[in-house]
Amino acid sequence: MRKNRKGCDVPDATILRLPLYLEKLKLLQAIGVEDVSSRQLAESLDIKASQLRHDFHYFGGFSRPGRPYQVDKLVPALEKIIGIAEPVPTAIVGAGHLGQALANYQNLEMQGFPVRGIFDVNPKLIGLDFRGRQVQDMDEMEAVISKENIKIAILTVPAANAQAVTDRLVAAGVVGIFNFAPTDLKVPATVAVRNERLAVGIMSLSFKVKCILENQALDGPAC
Amino acid sequence: MRKNRKGCDVPDATILRLPLYLEKLKLLQAIGVEDVSSRQLAESLDIKASQLRHDFHYFGGFSRPGRPYQVDKLVPALEKIIGIAEPVPTAIVGAGHLGQALANYQNLEMQGFPVRGIFDVNPKLIGLDFRGRQVQDMDEMEAVISKENIKIAILTVPAANAQAVTDRLVAAGVVGIFNFAPTDLKVPATVAVRNERLAVGIMSLSFKVKCILENQALDGPAC
DNA sequence: AAGATGTTGTTATTGCGATAACAGCACAAG
DNA sequence: CTTGTGCTGTTATCGCAATAACAACATCTT
């Protein structure tokens, strides 16, 4: 009989839209737009206005009835909800090609997720510099996580090592794992995992491409 | 009044699970497992067996009632459905950090998506070699797409250029776009787009992490 | 041989997210 | 002041995906 859990009973589908709202709002803010209606914002994101209002309703009180949303109020409100009102320090674990690409990806820091540590076991990679930060031996991982108060880790190690590294991360106090390894991770219920599988993405695309091509071959000339 | 469209009226949710099924089955195949029941396969993927059978039912005839699935039959059947029975040539457009990482990502080729072209406009990047393939000037893009019969492109250019490049890809005959740029692309109805937004992923993770930490602070010691 | 167990294919039910509908408020115009 | 338009917050409805249920079939054991 736990309580409301502070609005954590929000559907996943809604959570995934929050970053899109924030992104568009920041864009509007940058070009000096002050007010925006649910209809305007929704149309620019190809969704229905009622869905946007419904999403916002989980948190409530972004505006008052009759008045459009104020961009300058909404941006910080969303940032607070998402949890990026303050910069969120992160660690990249695994400095292979993908880890390096993410270490170079300045957008991450701009979105509020500065990289405060890059780790690998490969001696050849240790010491490599990415945007002023050097790859460290994985032995130092726990110490850095603790010192920098890192709660989110980006996991880019080979699938075979993913679970072992995950266990270390959880033990070190990490609460969220952004998993790029093609493996399901076992974690306690108090740890959030988001799997990002490139293979799934490109295969689902391949399925649709196959369908399109087959249908073009069938009734294409007739259309 | 179009016909069945050859089984293309499959829910997105199901399509996204097909690669997971295939992956697990290949793993089983590699260790010599011959038969597998819907229950076994589903449990290893943390889903319900009825959902797996329901998914398979869209395509039909993987097994006969009473008999478990045969791994050696199922793998090629799924590959055919997904459209990767034959290797699917792809192009990487944008040879920045992310494009380079994907060019180095040998897993793509192993999964059936060999990279047959890497393109960029930056003269400093042209000629760089990734696994035996060199970055080419984007002027050559259309010719290569046509010659190699490329239908799927991986888009890793800056958001500002994404739409212009997309238009060129579509005109050149590309039917599927794996979009890593944080922008919504406008394409004809006969082109499939899959957006892969890293920022969305990490922000949804941040939201959950914030919830976990807040709840731990609230009722953590009591539990 | 017969029953127990386990399996798939298929249909029915449930549950939840997307959409629509509406009530109440704000502001502008006449 | 009154009316009209447009907006949000909230509730109700709809539709689809996830789950459960069941019928038909195979295999093994006794």
pLDDT in tens, B4-30: 455 578 999 999 999 999 999 999 999
- When comparing pLDDT for B2 and A158, which is higher? A158
Chain B residues inside the 8 Å CB shell of A22: 203
Residue of B nearest to A181 (CA): B107
Residue contact A204–B18, C-beta within 8 A:
yes
Of the candidates A50, A44, A4, which has an alpha carbon nearest to the alpha carbon of residue A21? A44
Q: pTM score > 0.75 for this model? A: yes
Q: Does residue A160 surpass a pLDDT of 90?
A: yes
Straight-line distance from CA A62 to C1' D10, in Å?
14
| A84–B contact, CB cutoff 8 A | yes
pLDDT in tens, A8-62: 789 999 999 999 999 999 999 999 999 999 999 999 999 999 999 999 999 987 8
pLDDT at A3: 40
pLDDT in tens, B188-201: 999 999 999 999 99
Footprint of strand D on the protein (CB under 7 A): A 36-40, 49-50, 53-54, 56-57, 60-69; B 11-14, 47-48, 50-51, 53-54, 64-67
Low-confidence ranges of chain B (pLDDT < 50): 1-4, 222-223
Alpha carbon distance, N-terminus to C-terminus of chain B: 59
Q: Does residue A86 surpass a pLDDT of 90?
A: yes
Tell me the C-alpha distance between A128 and B114, whole Å: 29
* Residues A21 and A52: beta-carbon distance below 8 Å: yes
| B203–A contact, CB cutoff 8 A | yes
Tell me the C-alpha distance between B87 and B170, whole Å: 21
Which one-letter amino acid corresponds to residue A126? I
pLDDT at A1: 35
Q: Which two tokens stand for residue B45?
A: 């993927």
* B98-104 own/partner pairs: CB under 8 Å, 24+ apart: B98/A101, B98/A105, B98/B156, B98/B180, B99/B154, B99/B156, B100/A97, B100/A101, B100/B128, B100/B130, B101/A97, B101/A98, B101/A100, B101/A101, B102/A198, B102/B154, B102/B156, B103/B130, B103/B131, B103/B133, B104/A97, B104/B130, B104/B131
Eight-class DSSP state of B146: H
For residue B161, the distance in angstroms to the closest alpha carbon of chain A comes to: 16
Q: What percentage of residues in chain A have a pLDDT greater than 90?
A: 84
- When comparing pLDDT for A222 and B161, which is higher? B161
- Tell me the mean pLDDT in the region A209-223: 76
Of the candidates A87, A157, A85, which has an alpha carbon nearest to the alpha carbon of residue A118? A157
Q: Does residue A100 surpass a pLDDT of 90?
A: yes
User: Where residue A112 falls among pLDDT bands split at 50, 70, 90?
Assistant: very high
CA distances A13 to A17, A18, A93, A177, B35, Å, are 7, 9, 28, 19, 36
- Tell me the mean pLDDT in the region A176-189: 94
Q: Which among A6, A107, A209 has CB closest to B151?
A: A209
Residue contact B204–A16, C-beta within 8 A:
yes
User: Where residue A4 falls among pLDDT bands split at 50, 70, 90?
Assistant: very low
pLDDT at A107: 84
Q: Across A72-81, A102-111, A212-221, which has the greatest mean pLDDT?
A: A72-81
